[in-house]
Amino acid sequence: MTADLGYGMTIVALGLALYGGVSAGVGARTGRLALIESAQHAALGVFVLVTSCFALLTYAFLTFDFSVRYVATNTNLGTPFYYRITGVWGALEGSIILWSWMLALYTVILIVRHRVGARELYPWALATMLGILAFFLLVMTVAAPPFQRQVPVPADGRGLNPLLEDTGMITHPVALYLGFTGLTVPFAFAMAALITGRVGDTWLVLTRRWTIVAWYFLSLGLLIGGWWSYHVLGWGGYWAWDPVENAAFMPWLTATAFLHSVMIQERRRMLRLWNISLVILTFGLTLFGTFLTRSGVIASVHAFTQGSIGILFLSFLALVLLTALGLVAWRWEALRSEGELDSVLSRESAFLLNNVLLVAAAFTVFFGTVFPLLSEAARGVKVSVGAPFFNQINVPLFLSLVFLMGVGPLIAWRRASLDNLKRNFLWPVALGILAAALAFALGVRSLLAALTFATTVFVAVTIAVDFTRATRARLRVGESLLPAMGGLLVRHNRRYGGFVVHLGILIVALGVMGSHAWSVQTETTLHRGETAELAGYRFRFDGLTAVEESNHFKVVGTFTVSNGRVLGVLQPAKKFYPQEQAPIAYVDYRLGLREDIYLVLGDFARDGSQATIKLQVNRLVSWIWIGGVVLTLGALLAILPERHKSA
């Protein structure tokens, strides 16, 4: 009954979405408002139906309804309560429902926000959103139906993939998908702009906040993914340049580029073609990302499955790219810019270079990701490129980008005079060089570390210079200190939100650098009572215990950690799930500001007399998460509604 009801609702939703898309399009073309309103109602109907599907599926999960195949595959009688909820989006079909639901939600918000203010663009944007929503509903109906019946009904389900039984499982996909689907809206408005020919600033201004919000969620999703990888997967790292990680990173890179280049279009009316292309590229990359995760075309840690779904996604990607680029070709004349770059030393130049570097990084990641396909197609040999490829090329690009973070906000528009350069950058450059020298004096020999220190100090000082100068200006007018500073943040929240985001990135950069340059690890086998040593810490193996949990069996190793005095006890474990062929490692760790202690249990003797462990002391990793929090605060500040700017 559940399965049939769910399936029925999906089909109706698909029909409504198709109808709505066509209706909005025709209404836009002919100017008949009644059709547009009808499309709005259809969109609302879709939202209600998809929400109901979601609720129905969750209900099936909570009541152990194994007659629904998706429930049987992803849960069993032992799955804890909250994981029965998060398990709803734990595999392919559920992930499509989640995506569709978010698209439907965003469509409704779009209707509420822009129905009145954007007469020309709104109907076409609505049509585009509904069209894309219809595609995902089509996938839900044809390729990945969540409501398929399981016959015969099994007595017990298979269970959730144990790696997904984690708090990260609640937040990571949700944040990531909010980001991906959020990027659909700027694309929809870009299409509307191209179709109506209004390729000026209107569509940009409308989508500015959407872009920041989507970008923020994408950043959050990536950071949580890194955190999840770090504390669950047991390899002591947070980023592996895995194809699916890359698939999420590429749109982030181009979205970041877009966030910056819109500022140029707003100020100087330049880069129209570039901006439209960036939006199309970003949306294309999000589709590519979902294609990659679900088609099985490239082997990856995360890959969901193979089958007809890949062909569907590729076809849709082709349709979207060809249509969008066709529209660009059609509106080519209108997209030619009015302004042009005056000088290499200018804010426009800095922003353009920022964009070029970000797109170059995105291209590198793309190239490395599809390289196995390329090599097989070209030479019949299956070759993949590993992490060193990505790191080697991207590190210089990212370091340059960090440097630009300091240059961009301060350098003058149009043409920076020598005087302007001196005034803004003398102190930052001097202190940056000093920082590198200081690091060298303190024993740092890695070139990468020195450069990172230099650039981060450089950027931090530029931010301080700007903030101090602006505060002083207000103090001169008679304001007192704290209100002056607060007032700056609130009245120029876009600018200072951006600064805070940049600060967050600086902290993340330092964390990444520290973890790469200074982390140490070792592997060893210990008898009970024996101690291993690493980086000043001592680990004593105290013994093994076996524990039976509701849906798995685990062996826990107890280790006492000390560095002169006892710090605590770490208990890494190996979990054995009946439905898994190999045990899952459960890492234990102690986080710290300077360094993390990280312990993985490997092989062990059945009688508990000895255990093989991998020890890591990871440096500055916590800074990555702290930088993420700062980034969050900055994004929130930037999203605040704009107050009336004072003179």
Partner 1 sequence: MKRLWRWLIPLAAVPVLALLAYGFRVSPRDIPSPLVGRPAPGFALATLEGAPLDLAVHGGKVVVVNFWASWCYPACYEEAPVLERNWRGYRERGVVVVGVDIQDKREAALKFVGDFGLTFPVAQDLKGTVSVDYGVYGVPETFFVDRRGQIRLKHVGAVTDEVFKATVDRLLAEPASP
Partner 2 sequence: MTRQRKFIAGGVVIALALAYMIYAGVTQSAVYFVTPAELRAAPVPGKAYRLGGMVVPGSLKWEARSLDLSFSLSDGTATVPGYFKANLIMAKHSEEYKAPHDKSEAGYRELLKTLRGEGR
Query: At its nearest, how many Å lie between partner 2 and the CB of residue 452?
Result: 19
Query: At its nearest, how many Å lie between partner 1 and the CB of residue 165?
Result: 17
30 contact, one of partner 1, partner 2, none, CB 5-8 Å limit per kind: none
Q: Pick the closer one to partner 2 by CB: 164 or 570.
A: 164
161 contact, one of partner 1, partner 2, none, CB 5-8 Å limit per kind: partner 2
367 contact, one of partner 1, partner 2, none, CB 5-8 Å limit per kind: partner 2
314 contact, one of partner 2, partner 1, none, CB 5-8 Å limit per kind: partner 1
524 contact, one of partner 2, partner 1, none, CB 5-8 Å limit per kind: partner 2
* Whether the Cβ atoms of residue 75 and residue 87 lie closer than 8 Å to each other: yes
Q: Three-state DSSP class for 584?
A: strand
Q: Closest Cα partner for 60 from 78, 74, 80, 49? A: 74
Query: At its nearest, how many Å lie between partner 1 and the CB of residue 56?
Result: 20
393 contact, one of partner 1, partner 2, none, CB 5-8 Å limit per kind: partner 2
297 contact, one of partner 2, partner 1, none, CB 5-8 Å limit per kind: partner 1
Residue type at 320 in one-letter notation: V
The values of phi and psi at residue 414, to 5°, are 65, -70
Judged by the rule CB under 8 A, the positions of this chain that interact with partner 2 are 73, 90-92, 161, 163-164, 233-235, 299, 301-305, 340-342, 344, 356, 360, 363-364, 367-368, 371, 381-390, 392-393, 396, 523-525, 580-582, 585, 602-603, 605, 610, 612
The values of phi and psi at residue 441, to 5°, are -65, -35
Q: Pick the closer one to partner 2 by CB: 234 or 284.
A: 234
Q: Pick the closer one to partner 1 by CB: 114 or 554.
A: 554
For residue 131 the two structure tokens come to: 């069209």
Q: Which residues pair with 547 in a beta bridge?
A: 554
* Whether the Cβ atoms of residue 133 and residue 104 lie closer than 8 Å to each other: yes
What is the distance of C-alpha 627 from the center of its chain? 15
Name 538's Cβ contacts closer than 8 Å, sequence gap at least 6. 531, 532, 561, 562, 563
* Whether the Cβ atoms of residue 275 and residue 204 lie closer than 8 Å to each other: yes
Neighbour-count burial of 341, counting CB atoms closer than 10 A to its CB (0-12 exposed, 13-18 middle, 19+ buried): middle
Q: Pick the closer one to partner 1 by CB: 24 or 324.
A: 324
Query: At its nearest, how many Å lie between partner 1 and the CB of residue 220?
Result: 28
Residue 42 and residue 131: Cα distance in Å, rounded?
12
* Whether the Cβ atoms of residue 206 and residue 147 lie closer than 8 Å to each other: no
* Whether the Cβ atoms of residue 608 and residue 528 lie closer than 8 Å to each other: yes
Beta strands in 441-511 (DSSP E): none
Q: Pick the closer one to partner 1 by CB: 382 or 643.
A: 382
Query: At its nearest, how many Å lie between partner 1 and the CB of residue 559?
Result: 30
- Tell me the Cα Rg of the chain: 27
Q: Which residues pair with 615 in a beta bridge?
A: 522, 599
Judged by the rule CB under 8 A, the positions of this chain that interact with partner 1 are 69, 72-73, 150, 152, 154-155, 158, 288, 291, 295-299, 306, 310-311, 314, 317-318, 321-322, 325-326, 328-329, 332, 370, 372-374, 376-377, 382, 578-579, 581
Query: At its nearest, how many Å lie between partner 1 and the CB of residue 326?
Result: 5
Place of tokens 């193996």: 541
Please write down the long-range contacts of 37-42, taking CB distance under 8 Å and 24 or more positions apart. 39/123, 39/126, 39/127, 39/130, 40/111, 40/115, 40/126, 42/16, 42/17, 42/130
Q: Pick the closer one to partner 1 by CB: 157 or 221.
A: 157
For residue 92 the two structure tokens come to: 């392919």
523 contact, one of partner 2, partner 1, none, CB 5-8 Å limit per kind: partner 2
Q: Pick the closer one to partner 1 by CB: 386 or 483.
A: 386
Q: Three-state DSSP class for 249?
A: helix
For residue 31 the two structure tokens come to: 């100017």
603 contact, one of partner 2, partner 1, none, CB 5-8 Å limit per kind: partner 2
Neighbour-count burial of 168, counting CB atoms closer than 10 A to its CB (0-12 exposed, 13-18 middle, 19+ buried): buried
Query: At its nearest, how many Å lie between partner 1 and the CB of residue 385?
Result: 14
319 contact, one of partner 1, partner 2, none, CB 5-8 Å limit per kind: none
Residue 172 and residue 178: Cα distance in Å, rounded?
10
Q: Is the dihedral of CA 61, 64, 65, 66 positive or negative?
A: positive
Query: At its nearest, how many Å lie between partner 1 and the CB of residue 315?
Result: 9
Name 350's Cβ contacts closer than 8 Å, sequence gap at least 6. 404, 407, 408, 411
